[in-house]
Amino acid sequence: MLPNLGYGSLVITLIVSIYAIVSAVIGERKNLYKYVESARLALLLTFPLLTLTVISIVILLVNQNYEVQYVYNVTSSTMPLYLKVTALWGGQAGSLVFWAWLMAAFGTAVTLRKWDRDLDLLPWVIIVSSVTLVFFLIMIIAFENPFIRFWTLPSGGELVAMFAPAGSQLIHPFDGRGLNPLLRHPGMIIHPPMLYLGFVSFVIPYAFGMAALITGRKDDRWIRLTRRWTLVAWMFLSIGLILGSRWAYDVLGWGGYWAWDPVENAAFMPWLSGTAFLHSVMIQEKRGLFKRWNMILVIFTYSLVIFGTFLTRSGVLSSVHAFAQSAIGPMFFIFIGLSFIISLAFLIKRWDELRSEGIMTSLLSRESLFLINNLLFIGILVVVFWGTVYPLISELFTGQKVTVGPPFYNSTTGPLFVGLLLLMGIAPLSAWGHSTWKTLGKALWIPAIGSLILLVVLLVSGVRSIGALIGLTVASLAAFVTIYEFWRGMKARHKRSGENYLVALWKLTVRNRRRYGGYVIHLSVVFMAIGIIGIELFQTETQGRIAPGESLSLAGYTVTFKNLAEFDVADGRNVARAVLSVSKNGKDLGELYPRRDFYYDSQQPMTIPGVRSTVEDDLYIILVNWEQISSMGATFKVFHNPLINWLWYGGFLLVVGSFIAAWPDPEKEIELVPSRILRKETGKLVSKP
Amino acid sequence: MQDSTLTSPAKGSQKKFVFGGILIIAAIILLIITNTRAGAQYFLTVDEIIERQEEITGKDIRVSGAVLGETIEYDTENLIIKFEVAHVPGDNKEIDAQGGLALVLHQAVNNPDANRIFVVYEGVMPDLLQNEAQAIMTGKIGEDGIFYASELLLKCPTKYEEAIPDQSANS
């Protein structure tokens, strides 16, 4: 029986993970390696065990075993195979299993690395990973079991339970209810896994941070060990956010991509603290500063990751993305609270030992600018957090529920984002330790002239929006500085080695992956800023009812309604599809097909826009309404979204930059310290004198 | 700046960082406070709107109510939607205590004594605007007592409700 197999292996995983915690604690207390090794092997076992659970769910989904409640809730016979498979994360129970599975995978990956130099950290990394895993397993087994089934009792009553009540029989529904149509979109198929990958991989830097804190290692070893983890986690989280925006843009049919909705904010907050962390660890590596701050950031990021999972899964705050509601909310809250308090307690205990090794001296030094960068990121985080919980706070103190909408977020975070863009233009040119206006100015004046020229061009071409002028000028400065940095490096290399420019550029990047990968990411942020400025400040729209042959005009485009057809499709949809021809300044640009899909299984309509995308803009048409006799006409809403595609291009570039920065360096293999190898042979974790 | 080097940190040189840091933090706090005031929307129920109409006229309000299906009028020419909503409790706990959102919405729609307000919304007909949907609206209440919504979000709880299927066959 597949449900029993999957459930059984869930329970065994829980037992094994609890064993891992106990054994690691004993090993650490007694300073005996064999116990820790046993814990490590136990953690290794969780991945194949949970894989078995995941395979069970997928087979149940694909085989249409509707007697299983989860399968009944998220699939139906008309859904194509790939949607049945990805329905694994289409509902609450399945997505929690998926979370736990990823956690087990990362726990396994991290315990498989060479630990010779860092055996003292190993037990704590195992403990932190396992505790997180155990929490999720308990949530699944106790509250969100994906394997519970429908039963009829001998008395005629019906019941949902894991195991057969005495004398009862299974109920086999004919068909399931089907995945929410809003989730049947390619972006939605990869968006949740990306977000979860990002969430879960941030657990690893936290685990190392805690290990360093508990063992009292003051060096920045934990940061060096997890640099790549952090970067990869950050990349997945970024991809998840961008894909989520893309999904909202394509599916929700309102012409936007981001609504500062609580669930969006929940995914955005760990990204903000994670980005701050990614920058501030560099200061600790280079200058030995900000040790406490980095600990605080990694603790915050971990808490926000769990909080993010909790918000999407609890239904505490109403949101268009919260597709599940359940009773697990309070449990999440307790877990977050406990882990946060315990982490802070350890930090306070080590507070004095984590003193900075030096001090900052110059306001314009790299570390000082990084500090400002951190303040701004955390400032945005505070703004977003404040806006998200403001309804709860105001109700608590005034008894009156007050919310803040997108205008609050836009006008509060706007200046802070501009500040960050400005820093992105200046910081790469400033030196560690000491920088003055004079040295900075020397490097900055060429790119700055470029930005001023752009500003003049914008003014001449009639742009009068203050926000756009400031935003684009500052963004272009960051872009020019970055390109200028590449150019300077390439030229210097070309001069020194005689390589041609392309080879020089390639080698320059490959030799300093971290630095130039970071620059590519900076460029990608500029791209995204351009896209966001474009749609936020220059979006225009029109709407109207037109008969066949009539047209609507917007931003130089003319859309002409040709015809409309309504028909049923084999996968259980009724489709109403309009055909519109698009032309710009008299030139024919082809056709667009906005449509409305009606899903019979869930009785839910869905509006799919017709979109024409180019580098400069999107023409985005929604079919609003139509008369039964199509000759009567139909109503359309047309959006003109300038530059929006730069947001998605930026997303691609971000991935490229992350790969460059995270790619392993073969030349810098870490040498083994003999004294530490000895430890392993003696069976001790820490060699005591 | 000459007197401060890495090896002999002078206390005075740290002051500028503290000062600068405080300046930035103060700026952020100021931004939050002013924008919270400007962007605040009062979350009210239909009952509260009727009770406090004079006091809140013209202010940004967020209200949720149960949509009365037969009152929906849609002017497709000008894209203007008019409908009525009935009072539902604003508190999630209260809704749960009364048997869940679906039931509360159902009762609100079928209770002739429940307070109702007219809503006018200019825009595209949302897919989920139907009888017994929960409408979460942002907008202003006019002198005429009509709620002019600038934003309209809808929830249909029955879609996601977990229940034992009725179409079933015993094996």
Report which of residues A645 and A78 the model is more confident about. A645
Query: H or E segment at B153?
Result: strand B147-155
- In chain A, residues with a C-beta closer than 8 Å to the C-beta of B39 are 404-405, 407-408, 411
User: How confident is the model at residue B119, as a pLDDT?
Assistant: 94
State how far the Cα of A473 lies from the Cα of A560, in Å rounded to an integer.
Answer: 38
Q: Is residue B21 part of a domain?
A: no
Which of A1, A71, A380, A408 is best to mutate for the B interface (most B CBs within 10 A)? A408
Which of A68, A170, A404, A543 is best to mutate for the B interface (most B CBs within 10 A)? A404
Average pLDDT of the residues in A617-635: 80
Q: Is residue B147 part of a domain?
A: yes
B160 and A323: CB-CB below 8 Å?
yes
Of B76, B136, B160, nearest to A635 by CB-CB distance is B76
B169 and A383: CB-CB below 8 Å?
no
> Could you tell me the pLDDT band of residue A391, with boundaries at 50, 70 and 90?
confident
> Could you tell me the pLDDT band of residue A286, with boundaries at 50, 70 and 90?
confident
A415 and B31: CB-CB below 8 Å?
yes
B167 and A160: CB-CB below 8 Å?
no
Q: Is A577 helix (H, G, I), strand (E, B) or coil?
A: strand
Averaged pLDDT score across all residues of chain A? 87
State how far the Cα of A111 lies from the Cα of A37, in Å rounded to an integer.
Answer: 10
State the nearest Cα–Cα gap between B154 and chain A, in angstroms: 9
Q: Is residue B69 part of a domain?
A: yes
The string of DSSP letters for A99-114 reads HHHHHHHHHHHHHTS-
A-B CB pairs within 8 A amount to: 154
> Could you tell me the pLDDT band of residue A682, with boundaries at 50, 70 and 90?
low
A residues 586..625 contacting B (CB < 8 A): 596, 602-607, 622, 624-625
Of A180, A390, A605, nearest to B127 by CB-CB distance is A605
Q: Exposed/middle/buried for A270, CB within 10 Å: 0-12, 13-18, 19+?
A: buried
Of B60, B128, B168, nearest to A172 by CB-CB distance is B168
Which chain B residue's Cα is nearest to A380? Answer: B28
Which chain B residue's Cα is nearest to A625? Answer: B76
> Could you tell me the pLDDT band of residue A321, with boundaries at 50, 70 and 90?
very low
Q: Is A115 on the interface with B (CB under 8 A)?
A: no
- In chain B, residues with a C-beta closer than 8 Å to the C-beta of A376 are 24
Q: Is A363 on the interface with B (CB under 8 A)?
A: yes
pLDDT for A629-642, tens place per residue? 656 788 888 999 99
Average pLDDT of the residues in B57-71: 86
Range of the domain at B137: 42-158
User: How confident is the model at residue B162, as a pLDDT?
Assistant: 37
State how far the Cα of A530 lies from the Cα of A364, in Å rounded to an integer.
Answer: 27
Q: Is residue B125 part of a domain?
A: yes
pLDDT of A409 > 70? The answer is yes
User: How confident is the model at residue B77, as a pLDDT?
Assistant: 76
Contacts of A53 (CB under 8 A, 6+ apart): A6, A7, A9, A10, A13, A97, A101
State how far the Cα of A210 lies from the Cα of A347, in Å rounded to an integer.
Answer: 9
* Most confident of the following: A40-44, A161-165, A281-285: A40-44
pLDDT of B167 > 50? The answer is no
Judge contact between A396 and B24, C-beta under 8 A. Answer: no
pLDDT of A328 > 90? The answer is no
Contacts of A126 (CB under 8 A, 6+ apart): A20, A21, A24, A36, A39, A40, A43, A107, A111
Which of B45, B51, B56, B127 is best to mutate for the A interface (most A CBs within 10 A)? B127
User: How confident is the model at residue A374, as a pLDDT?
Assistant: 94
User: How confident is the model at residue B125, as a pLDDT?
Assistant: 76
The string of DSSP letters for A368-428 reads HHHHHHHHHHHHHHHHHHHHHHHHHHHHHHHSSEEEE-HHHHHHHHHHHHHHHHHHHHHGG
User: How confident is the model at residue B9, as a pLDDT?
Assistant: 45
Of B6, B32, B35, nearest to A361 by CB-CB distance is B6
Question: Residue ranges of the alpha helices (H) in chain B?
Answer: 11-39, 46-51, 53-56, 92-97, 101-110
Minimal CA–CA distance to B105: which of B144, B139, B135, B82?
Answer: B135
pLDDT of A408 > 50? The answer is yes
User: How confident is the model at residue A666, as a pLDDT?
Assistant: 61
Average pLDDT of the residues in B18-33: 89
- In chain B, residues with a C-beta closer than 8 Å to the C-beta of A415 are 31
Which of A149, A153, A403 is best to mutate for the B interface (most B CBs within 10 A)? A403
Structure tokens given for B123: 């825009």
pLDDT for B118-138, tens place per residue? 999 988 777 778 888 888 888
Q: Domain residues of chain A, as ranges?
A: 1-179, 540-645
State how far the Cα of A637 lies from the Cα of A607, in Å rounded to an integer.
Answer: 12
Average pLDDT of the residues in B10-35: 82
Average pLDDT of the residues in A151-175: 85
- CA A235 from chain centre, in angstroms, equals 7
Average pLDDT of the residues in A226-234: 91
pLDDT of A344 > 50? The answer is yes
Q: Is residue B111 part of a domain?
A: yes
User: How confident is the model at residue B3, as a pLDDT?
Assistant: 39
Report which of residues B111 and A12 the model is more confident about. A12
> Could you tell me the pLDDT band of residue A327, with boundaries at 50, 70 and 90?
low
Report which of residues A80 and A269 the model is more confident about. A269
Q: Is A320 on the interface with B (CB under 8 A)?
A: yes
State the nearest Cα–Cα gap between B121 and chain A, in angstroms: 15
pLDDT of A324 > 70? The answer is no
- In chain A, residues with a C-beta closer than 8 Å to the C-beta of B37 are none
Q: Is A62 on the interface with B (CB under 8 A)?
A: no
pLDDT for A518-575, tens place per residue? 999 999 999 999 999 999 899 998 888 888 889 999 989 999 999 888 899 887 889 9
State how far the Cα of A222 lies from the Cα of A216, in Å rounded to an integer.
Answer: 11
Of A360, A371, A412, nearest to B32 by CB-CB distance is A412
CATH of residue B125's domain is 2.40.50.140
- The domain tally of chain B equals 1
Q: Is B8 on the interface with A (CB under 8 A)?
A: no
